Amino acid sequence: MWALAIGILCSLAGVKLPPVATKSLNLLGKATPGVSLFCLGLIMSSVQLKLSSEVWANLTLKLEAATSILASTVLSLVTFSFAIYFIDNGLAAA
């Protein structure tokens, strides 16, 4: 957390790192996603997969929530368009 905060502050202050440090950190940054995925795979391989009723209930609730968000977003396109149209015509007529 502190490294991120210090990095943001240094960037905002315009502090430039020496080229050797820049190259080293750039190389480390390029390796990070692959190493993270490898470690995640190792951790996940040590856990036994259990598809209990709790897992299925959680999955169902998340799918219902995602469907609700999608439906409300699509409907908001229609309702907001009508609302803007009626407000615009109402304000123009007044």
Same domain, 29 and 66: no
How many domains does the chain divide into? Answer: 2
> Residue 13 belongs to what domain range?
1-47
Same domain? 34 vs 72: no
pLDDT at 53 (0 to 100): 93
What is the rounded distance in angstroms from the CA atom of residue 49 to the CA atom of residue 46? 9
Using alpha carbons, list the distances in angstroms from residue 25 to 6, 29, 30, 47, 79: 14, 6, 9, 33, 49
Are 43 and 59 contained in the same domain? no
| Segment 57-71, tens digit of pLDDT | 999 989 989 999 999
How much is the pLDDT for 89?
78
Same domain? 57 vs 36: no
Q: Are residues 42 and 64 in the same domain?
A: no
Pair (42, 6) in one structural domain:
yes
pLDDT digits (tens, 9 = 90+) for 1-54: 898 899 899 889 999 889 999 899 899 989 999 999 999 999 989 888 888 999
What residue type is assigned to position 91 of the chain?
A: L
Q: For tokens 């977003």, what's the residue? A: 73
89 and 64, same structural domain?
A: yes
Its sign, for the CA torsion 73, 76, 78, 81, is negative
Same domain, 33 and 54: no
Domain shared by 1 and 42, yes or no: yes
Closest CA to 19 of 31, 7, 11, 27: 27
